[in-house]
Amino acid sequence: MIEIRWHGRGGQGAVTSVELLALAAIDEGKYAQGFPSFGPERRGAPVAAFNRVDSERIRIRSGIYHPDVVVVLDESLIGLVNVTEGLKPGGKLIVNTSKKAADVMKILNYSGAIATVDATGIAWKELGVPITNTTMLGALVKVTGVVGLDALAGPVEHRFGRIASKNMAALKRAFDEVKIN
């Protein structure tokens, strides 16, 4: 089983990313869970969301406290939220940033596996808005292989309709441009 924690801000699409990944995993015949963790937060407030994906039935119904992967949609959360908290030894951190991985690692005092991608830059170019949810899905798929890239096409089409092609372009571009350290 792979457990993933997403960090973002309200309105950035972390919850949508979780839903899209769960649907893609189910479409591939896997078992998946996707759930948010937030209270009365407002747009822009820090939020977390979670996925579990496995080839066998998932019987766990608790929160995820020791994820295999952490995805950070907004680098301004670094220092505000302890994004590496509970990350399993050997776990992977995926950060939306234009900084070099070594710089992010220094800021976080983190020495584990890290991948970086300028998801905001990609989102601006492909979507015309700085919403990085589908972009970071592309990076996640490249780093983890949790689902195939093509498995996301159906859920993205269903969720985004007429702008699905732009979201898939952003997703594929992040898949190609993510830097894995």
Tens of pLDDT, residue by residue over 75-108, are 999 989 999 999 999 999 999 999 999 999 999 9
pLDDT band at residue 153 using 50, 70 and 90 as cut-offs: very high
Q: Does residue 3 contact residue 62 with C-beta atoms inside 8 Å?
A: no
Q: Does residue 73 contact residue 119 with C-beta atoms inside 8 Å?
A: yes
Among all chains, which residue has been given the structure tokens 């479409």? 27
CATH number at residue 68: 3.40.920.10
- What is the number of structural domains in the chain? 1
Residue 38 has pLDDT above 80, yes or no: no
Least confident of 9-13, 70-74, 113-117: 9-13
How many residues would you count in the chain?
181
Residue 113 has pLDDT above 90, yes or no: yes
CA-to-CA dists, residue 45 to 8, 12, 62, 73, 130, angstroms: 8, 10, 23, 13, 16
Domain of residue 146 covers: 2-180
pLDDT at residue number 41: 59
